[in-house]
Chains A and B, each alone.
Chain A
């Protein structure tokens, strides 16, 4: 891969532009180059006004999520070679309001995140330090779903988020599952009530887009299916 990359980047500065446009850049390739390196190169040497977010550059902070060649990905974790083409198109994450260029407004995402109270609330009457063994069945598959870095990839891939502005989205619902399924949590029932709404779990139609794009291999679909079952069981008087 010695030939340079042909990169199209979405540009929009609401303070000066009427409409968005694409800028073309030619970017030289080096070994193990990631998409993050591409935008950093553009910003350093070709156009200092290009705006984008990044921080840890090792897939932990979730800041650099972008829509690259048709899919939401973490720029720092996407090797240019994995795209298998020299033509790269970079856009901001879909389903989010755009602040500028590749920077999106994460507020709607976090508003929905907060709605499900995304933090463990301990029950008061606990004498023992550990009431659920980490490897017991009671943990279900919670531990597989805890690594969320709130990057927004799943939210941007979901077509129900695209069509319904109230839908809580895969990230919030997945986090809700990890807490509702946790026997130690004090407000599990309250949380279930929040997700048992038409803009909660019932909007999910098991398309799996979220699971396909998650950089942490979380499967929100699985969490949401489990929550649907819990909502039904609750109607029959059984809350597990």
Chain B
């Protein structure tokens, strides 16, 4: 298990370097003087490529973050049971937040 998760951490790292760069560049640093508004987001997320990009950013970002947390946990002494519980918690938190995030993104598209 560890070899796969370690590789995936590196893969997500490379993806995030590019994706977070783009995300911050285009959204956190908006070009207009006014803040982003809902209308702009709706227009943006109509494009399939962009909404898929955001969803992938969310998934890889949360994977990288939560695996990082698990790594910190493993660096300290722990019992087998504790490891299983913490892993389970992190998976649930991850799925929950990714789910909520995707739900939020999709809510901007009229179905």
B-contact 0/1 string along A154-188, CB 8 Å cutoff: 00000010011110000000000000000000000
B6 CB within 8 Å of chain A: yes
Q: Which residues of A contact B4 (CB under 8 A)?
A: 235
Q: Tell me the complex Cα distance, A165–B75, Å.
A: 9
Q: Which residues of A contact B76 (CB under 8 A)?
A: 163-164
- Is chain A's interface secondary structure helix, strand, loop, or mixed overall? helix
A25 CB within 8 Å of chain B: no
Q: Tell me the complex Cα distance, A164–B6, Å.
A: 19
B6–A165 CB distance below 8 A: no
Closest Cβ of chain B to A107, distance in Å, is 18
Q: Tell me the complex Cα distance, A82–B7, Å.
A: 42
Interface residues of B in 59-75 (CB under 8 A from A): 74-75
Stretch of A33-41, A42-50, A116-124, A194-202 lying at the B interface: A194-202
Q: Which residues of B contact A234 (CB under 8 A)?
A: 3
A232 CB within 8 Å of chain B: yes
Interface residues of A in 193-233 (CB under 8 A from B): 196-198, 202-203, 205, 228, 231-232
Q: Which residues of A contact B7 (CB under 8 A)?
A: 232
A163–B3 CB distance below 8 A: no
Q: Tell me the complex Cα distance, A232–B5, Å.
A: 10
Residue of A nearest to B76 (CB): A163
Q: Tell me the complex Cα distance, A89–B2, Å.
A: 41
Q: Which residues of B contact A164 (CB under 8 A)?
A: 74-77
